[in-house]
Amino acid sequence: MSSTSVGTMKWQRDRWRRWSGLRWASATHSIHPERLRSRIPLEQDVPISGDQRERILAKAVDDEVLGGARVVHRSGQGVILGYQRKINHLGHFLMTLVTGGLWGFVWVALVATRKEERVRLDVDAWGNVWPVAGKK
């Protein structure tokens, strides 16, 4: 278990990353994406207004929903998005044919027990949107 707290920033290779609770993650969206590639600490920048933060979060959520996410919850801390795990139906169909229908039981079990991965999107004071891992 890591002793790193969620939100800790770190320069890694060529950009700033933030601890998401599971891994070091890049910002998903930013008002100034080029700024994330500068080694100068973000804390030295002037913070943006709350209205600007809401707009960048709304744009990030719109982009994620277009990519297949669904909004689970909105709050003052951010937006929680849900992502369904993908199932390769063609592959399972072919396996069902090859095994004479036996693989169909596995396929049905996978569909019935498919879980949703959840991520909270947060906006920092400088207009960068960061993923925070949901609890399992």
Q: Shortest CA distance to 81 belongs to which of 132, 14, 11, 25?
A: 132
Query: pLDDT tens string for the chain (136 positions)?
Result: 457 888 898 999 899 999 988 889 999 999 999 999 999 998 899 999 999 999 999 999 999 999 989 999 998 778 999 988 888 999 999 999 999 999 999 999 999 988 888 999 999 999 999 999 876 5
Res 94: pLDDT: 96
Torsion angle of alpha carbons 37, 38, 39, 44, nearest 10°?
-120
Res 4: pLDDT: 80
Res 136: pLDDT: 54
Residue 79, token pair as written in the block: 């937006």
Length of the chain (residues): 136
Distance CA 126, CA 94 (A): 50
DSSP states along the chain: ---PPTT-EEEETTEEEEE-SSSEE--SEESSGGGGGSSS-GGGSPPPPHHHHHHHHHHHHHHHHHTT-EEEEEETTEEEEEEEPP--HHHHHHHHHHTTTTHHHHHHHHHHT--EEEEEEEE-TTSEEEEEEPP-
Res 116: pLDDT: 86
Res 135: pLDDT: 64
